[in-house]
Structure 1
Amino acid sequence: MLKNLLLLFFIFFYFNIHCQIDTVNLVSWNIRDFGKTKSSAELEKIAEIVRDTDILAIQEVVAGYGGAQAVAKLSDILNRKGAQWDYVISNPTNSPKYATERYAFIWKTKNIKIKNRGWLLDELNSTIDREPFLLDFYLNKQKFTVINFHSRPHNKTPESEIKALSYFVVDSLKTPLIIAGDFNVDEKEPVFGLLKSKRYKATITNQKTTLKKTCKRGDYLNYPIDNIFYSNDIKRVDGGVIDFVRFCDNLELARKLSDHLPVFFKFSLE
């Protein structure tokens, strides 16, 4: 009897250890006007694009009820694809007229856990139009933090917002940290110097992430403005964009989902 109990214990212990994942795949995506204008068919296509990720960070969720409803529908579609997902939606940002949005996270619950529902960084209200959304995640009881961020458009000095966020991050946050979003600035620009001096790295370089309205000679990509930055205590395993366009003939339908490509970051905790 004792031998059988010991055998069961070791089987249970082995199973639990080897079922834990040690890497996380995070996708950041500015899904244009993510709200009631997205049809069920479009949400299904979005779900197919992101189904293999562990955490999805969404920017440009419509501030009204339609935005929250779209996030809930996408989570429900993902739940019917073989894994269990949960989601959080931020409050509307404290923004100038026509700039107010929400942020959202959707994640697989099997290995990724949370202990709170996140919060907007109100400390940055005066310096950032759409103050970022912060959420703490746990992988195998190890904590890491993700900031979801959508800066001002390129013609409205997003650099000042990036600078304010960089100082806040450096001064206030000490856990393994990821900053994911649409920065409206190329990661090569000097404004990212503070983060880089603190050993933050960009997931992608020399990679355009937005879609043109028309495609010529196979070229449908525009600006390199979406990215995922990560602190030195996070190890990069892989990263890049998910190109759901691929061919010129697909551009018109692709733009109905979004005018941005998703950026993915696969990582482990040091």
Structure 2
Amino acid sequence: MVKKTLLYLLIFFSFSGFAQEQISLISWNIRDFGRTKNSEELDRMADILRDADIVAIQEVVSGYGGAQAVAKLADNLNRKGAKWDYVISNPTHSSKYVTERYAFIWKTKNIKIKNRGELITELDSLVDREPFFLDFFIKGQKLTVLNFHSRPHDKNPEAEITAITQYLLRLDIKNPLILAGDFNVNEKDSVFSPLKEAGFKASIVNKKTTLKSVCKNNVYVNHAIDNIFYSEQISKLEGKVVDFVKFCENLISARQLSDHLPVLLEFEIE
């Protein structure tokens, strides 16, 4: 009997040692994220984001108001049952009217960082807003996340996507990697083919993520341009658009937060 008990314990601990950590990441372009957001709107945002483990935010305004808004959002999240931390990028090296910051917010219980991230200056001359990357450590396993907001659809965002893809393939990063953001291009476009051929997959496929100004026939979404691409070391459990609108009558209130819906990827690191 003692031998059987020991055998069961050995089997149990052997399998539990291979248990994988489930992580959820949300990417969200929060339009003009800065002083325009009041406390009630920030609290609504926190309710949308509270179940995620990592949040990547695009379109944080470059002035002091942007940093304040991120800090206030993190504070609201801290009041909802978990401890969060955040980092904000420097302003991108862009012309006056397109300069932005990026932000990451994450739960600190099982997720650590060793630096505060940095903009990828090597891409400075090739993109309007260079990506911001940060290495997260999840129970010792490194996960690299790139946060990116491309130029508008009529200003050749495809050239930026090509430049970022070539950069990533040239680096040949071996640890799990995520490229998240607003690409202003649908993931089915051929510009993403080299990334997919390198083993990356899209979290959502042809799902519209931008909000119309006017809702008709309960249709309030427009373009499929936000996504999360993940490398082959990552196993997707779920990918979806976080629809906090649901009904036409909620559209005006929803657009006070952003004209984009968040995208979620729930995953395990293999």
Please say whether Structure 1 and Structure 2 have the same fold, judged by a TM-score greater than 0.5: yes
Helix, strand or coil for the counterpart of 1:251? helix
- 2:174 equivalent in structure 1: 174
Provide the rounded CA distance (Å) in 1 between the counterparts of 2:248 and 2:164.
Answer: 37
User: Is the 2:235–2:269 Cα contact (8 Å) retained in structure 1?
Assistant: yes
Provide the rounded CA distance (Å) in 2 between the counterparts of 1:250 and 1:125.
Answer: 39
- 1:119 equivalent in structure 2: 118
Provide the rounded CA distance (Å) in 2 between the counterparts of 1:111 and 1:195.
Answer: 29
Q: How far 1:21 moved relative to its partner?
A: 6.9
User: Is the 1:21–1:111 Cα contact (8 Å) retained in structure 2?
Assistant: no
Deviation per residue, 1:232-260 (Å, 9 max, x gap): 11110111011000000000010000000
1:195 aligned to 2:195? Answer: yes
User: Is the 1:178–1:229 Cα contact (8 Å) retained in structure 2?
Assistant: yes
- 1:244 equivalent in structure 2: 244
- 2:227 equivalent in structure 1: 227
Provide the rounded CA distance (Å) in 2 between the counterparts of 1:108 and 1:180.
Answer: 18
Provide the rounded CA distance (Å) in 1 between the counterparts of 2:38 and 2:243.
Answer: 21
The amino acid that maps onto 2:98 is A
- 2:104 equivalent in structure 1: 105
**Aligned-CA RMSD value:** 1.4
TM-score, normalising length from structure 2? Answer: 0.92
Deviation per residue, 1:151-179 (Å, 9 max, x gap): 00001000000000000011113321000
- 2:48 equivalent in structure 1: 49
Provide the rounded CA distance (Å) in 2 between the counterparts of 1:109 and 1:176.
Answer: 19
User: Is the 1:150–1:181 Cα contact (8 Å) retained in structure 2?
Assistant: yes
Deviation per residue, 1:166-222 (Å, 9 max, x gap): 000111133210000000000010100110110110000020000000000010000
TM-score, normalising length from structure 1? Answer: 0.92
In the alignment, structure 2 segments of 5+ residues that lack a partner are 1-8
The amino acid that maps onto 2:237 is V
Runs (4 or more) in structure 1 with deviation over 6 Å come to none
In the alignment, structure 1 segments of 5+ residues that lack a partner are 1-9
User: How many correspondences in the alignment?
Assistant: 255
